[in-house]
Structure formats: structure tokens, C-alpha cells
């Protein structure tokens, strides 16, 4: 299964990239989480924020696969330990790509390579729409969307 989403954001690649990797950007768009990583391929990353385990809950973690500033961010991810006891066995691949289109930025997200019986696929299908909508709103207006999470 491949989940693929395309959003056109009325901003430059720098602003959209900032929403994907900066603490301020990810807190605004990824359910209050910060993306923590040195962004070197082969190195770990984690989305950390309020949740089941308190303010430092690891929601998603894994390994950076590719990092091309203002262009591509790819990683292999696992659901956080507080969500599934077999979290280390479950994974998928996520790839964000940015492309300039006219005076805006096209943000494409692909989520694929799910392990068999991936426990969070339905959640991913629903959540990516909300996260990408949040990125678009935050970049274009500076405001966040409150989904009641």
C-alpha cells in the first residue's frame, strides 16, 4: 500500500522546509511534537511531545534515510513504544519532497513499505490529511489548527 498526498502551499520552499524540520514548525503541525535528529542519513530521529508517557512521549521514531535541504526528507519510522508492544518490528517509509511550482511550493508526501499487519495504517491514512493541512495553514497564516488532539 502507498499513501500519497500532494499539497500546494502559497510560500517558498524555505518556509515549508522550516515547517517540516524546525522545532517551532513541527510543534505547530505534528500534534505538538518536535522532530529531534541530526538529520544525517543512517542516524536516528524521533517525534517527541505530549502524550501517553507525559511531555516527552516518543510518538514515532526511526532512522533518517535521506536529507536534502529544501528538497527531500525521508525516513523509516516505527510507532512509539507506548502505542504497541511490538513497535520495533513495525515500520514504514515516509518521504517528503518539495518542488517549486510558479510562486508556490508543492509538498508531496509518500508513506509506503508498511510491514505486514502494520497496526497504525488506518491512523496514518487519517492523520496525514490533518498534519499536511496544519503545515499548509501554519506556513500560509502563522496559525495552527486545533483538531482537539
62 dihedral zone (left: phi>0; alpha: psi -120 to 50; beta): left
Total domains, the chain = 1
**Following CA atoms 25, 30, 34, 38 in sequence, which dihedral angle do they give, to the nearest 10 degrees?**
-80
Residue 91 domain-assigned?
Answer: yes
Report the relative pairing of strands 92-101 and 104-112 from DSSP bridges: antiparallel
The pLDDT of residue 118 is 82
The pLDDT of residue 77 is 96
Residue 20 domain-assigned?
Answer: yes
Residue 30 domain-assigned?
Answer: yes
Residue 146 domain-assigned?
Answer: no
Residue 147 domain-assigned?
Answer: no
What's the pTM value of the predicted model, to 2 decimals?
0.94
Residue 145 domain-assigned?
Answer: no
Residue 134 domain-assigned?
Answer: yes
Residue 132's domain spans which residues? 3-140
The pLDDT of residue 149 is 66
How far apart, in whole angstroms, are the C-alpha atoms of residue 134 and residue 83?
A: 23
Helices assigned H by DSSP within 22-147 = 23-29, 121-141
How far apart, in whole angstroms, are the C-alpha atoms of residue 68 and residue 39?
A: 9
The pLDDT of residue 43 is 98
Which stretches of the chain drop beneath a pLDDT of 70? 149
The pLDDT of residue 90 is 92
Residue 135 domain-assigned?
Answer: yes
Amino acid at each position: 500500500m502507498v499513501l500519497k498526498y500532494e499539497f500546494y502551499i502559497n510560500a517558498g520552499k524555505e518556509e515549508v522546509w522550516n515547517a517540516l524540520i524546525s522545532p517551532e514548525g513541527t510543534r505547530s503541525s505534528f500534534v505538538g511534537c518536535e522532530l529531534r535528529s541530526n538529520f544525517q542519513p543512517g542516524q536516528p530521529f524521533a517525534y517527541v511531545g505530549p502524550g501517553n508517557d507525559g511531555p516527552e512521549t516518543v510518538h514515532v521514531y526511526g532512522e533518517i534515510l535521506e536529507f536534502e535541504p529544501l528538497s527531500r526528507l525521508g525516513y523509516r519510522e516505527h510507532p512509539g513504544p507506548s502505542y504497541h508492544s511490538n513497535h520495533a518490528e513495525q515500520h514504514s517509509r515516509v518521504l517528503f519532497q518539495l518542488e517549486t511550482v510558479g510562486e508556490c511550493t508543492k509538498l508531496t508526501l509518500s508513506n509506503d513499505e508498511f510491514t505486514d499487519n502494520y497496526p497504525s495504517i488506518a491512523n496514518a491514512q487519517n492523520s496525514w490529511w490533518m498534519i499536511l493541512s496544519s503545515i499548509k495553514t501554519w506556513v500560509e497564516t502563522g496559525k495552527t489548527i486545533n483538531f482537539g488532539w
